[in-house]
Chain A
């Protein structure tokens, strides 16, 4: 039985790591109009691995085994469908798949390691096409490139499987209609296109990082996948851009603190109260490396600044030693690049630390009546805190109440309620 558990674990791991690459190659072979065929082949390979390994034990190289089964399955499908209109063989390279003289060798070429990596990245860029909504981008990436089941994607988004299926369908339709060919964009377009890939990755990361989820497994899975995707961008020379390193650094700094943010019971622990010895210092160290690499060239993105801010928190030995002046400086530069009310709100929190509640309240006047913020729980939680410190208890209570109503997260609700009950 232990052996079977081992097989399950290896397969799970392998599937998360490799299924996206396999699907990407198969989509290149069968075309974006046949994404289902590509997904089926990978699914079949997985099922047959599970059945075979349980009887005969795990092969020496499970990854190679899985790839070989997928390759053979693809050959079967091509033999069966070479005269049907399902697959477009007009491309010279694919034309060779229709002859037995060249089918096997051509198939081998498609699975060559560098090729696989390029196809995976190409697929990532195609998924993040600006015409596809960000929600649909991430849904598609999780399902097709990260090996999530529809059920798992639904859990990630706290929505129904039905909704996810609809999103997937729409994206597949888009691919079909526009005959999208997955490829890494040309040098001239790469910066702009990478920015949408990065925002999808960051959104995926935040989906896992923010505490909307009670399910720890799903959260960690999302974080891991976001980091894996970013890593695969960094493994290819074409996409080793400063902003990619910056996002990688940022995600390292954030995830280094992941386990200290909640108690075993799932309650939130504020930064000031976190046990800093629990932070993952190896991860912080990698983050520093990435941040150094991010500083070549003249590109300065929001990721650079957010990473720099996160680093300031990571390198402070205790909360009291936090270099708030430096952080405030970074926030000011950040706001110059992206005039974002939520960033501004965060800056006000720094002002609260540095200059006290009066100044923070004054700064917040600057974004009063912002529609987005009015609906943002953290805005009201901040005002609740400021008024509490100013001893305006009734105002504080009103804002905290609103914050509780606005957040979806149970642990945040609980945190805010505890806060109120301490002075009510």
Chain B
């Protein structure tokens, strides 16, 4: 099994317009999906991220008080999973609950160096 990073982008704006009940339902969906992965031994780890941050640029000499990307491009969270191939990992990602909030998911294999 190979290891993949799923980079989940967007979703912050959407989540601001949802009621607590809707949020709870959404989180239950995350739990269902992730427990499926965990049961199959495919879940390694992953966390949602806050939208605030800092970006360091120009060879480390300049610090920007926010992430470079905004809105749909902003990384909202990541998951590390096990999958057989890039195709497999992509198929798994199609069920990501983030799509309910108009997220995009980028699938990248961890590279040996």
Contact = CB atoms under 8 A, between A and B. Distances in A.
A105 B31 contact: yes
B34 interface: yes
Contacts of B24: 105
A208 to B, nearest CB: 44
Contacts of B45: 98-99
B31 A96 contact: yes
B67 interface: no
A5 interface: no
Interface in A241-261: none
Interface string B24-37: 10011011001100
B71 interface: no
Nearest to A104: B27
A109 B31 CA distance: 10
Contacts of B35: 92-93, 96, 102, 106
A133 B24 CA distance: 46
B36 to A, nearest CB: 9
Interface string A90-122: 001101101111101110010000000000000
B46 A105 contact: no
Contacts of B48: 100-101
A102 B35 CA distance: 9
Interface in A177-224: none
Contact of A101 (B30, B39, B41): B30
Nearest to A82: B45
Contacts of B34: 96, 99, 101-102
B43 interface: yes
Nearest to B35: A96
A96 B79 CA distance: 12
Nearest to B37: A92
A92 B39 contact: yes
A93 B46 CA distance: 15
A100 B38 contact: no
Contacts of B61: none
Contacts of B28: 105
B47 interface: yes
B6 to A, nearest CB: 11
B27 A99 contact: no
B47 A101 contact: yes
A82 B113 CA distance: 28
A93 B38 contact: yes
Contact of A95 (B43, B77, B79): B43
B14 to A, nearest CB: 16
A294 B34 CA distance: 45
A96 B38 CA distance: 8
Nearest to A106: B31
Interface in B9-57: 24, 27-28, 30-31, 34-35, 38-39, 41, 43, 45-48
B63 to A, nearest CB: 26
A95 B36 CA distance: 12
Contacts of B79: 101
Nearest to B40: A92
A197 B109 CA distance: 52
A365 to B, nearest CB: 67
A93 B47 CA distance: 16
Contacts of A98: 45
A100 B34 CA distance: 11
A93 B41 CA distance: 11
Contacts of B41: 92
Nearest to A95: B38
Contacts of A105: 24, 27-28, 30-31
Contacts of B30: 101-102, 105
A93 B38 CA distance: 7
A99 B38 CA distance: 12
Given A93-B35, A101-B30, 19 more contacts: A92-B35, A92-B38, A92-B39, A92-B41, A93-B38, A95-B43, A96-B43, A99-B47, A100-B48, A101-B46, A101-B48, A101-B79, A102-B31, A102-B34, A102-B35, A105-B27, A105-B30, A106-B31, A106-B35
Closest 4 CB pairs of A and B: A92-B38, A105-B31, A102-B31, A101-B30
14 contacts: A92-B35, A92-B41, A95-B38, A95-B43, A96-B31, A98-B45, A99-B34, A99-B45, A100-B48, A102-B34, A102-B35, A105-B30, A105-B31, A106-B31
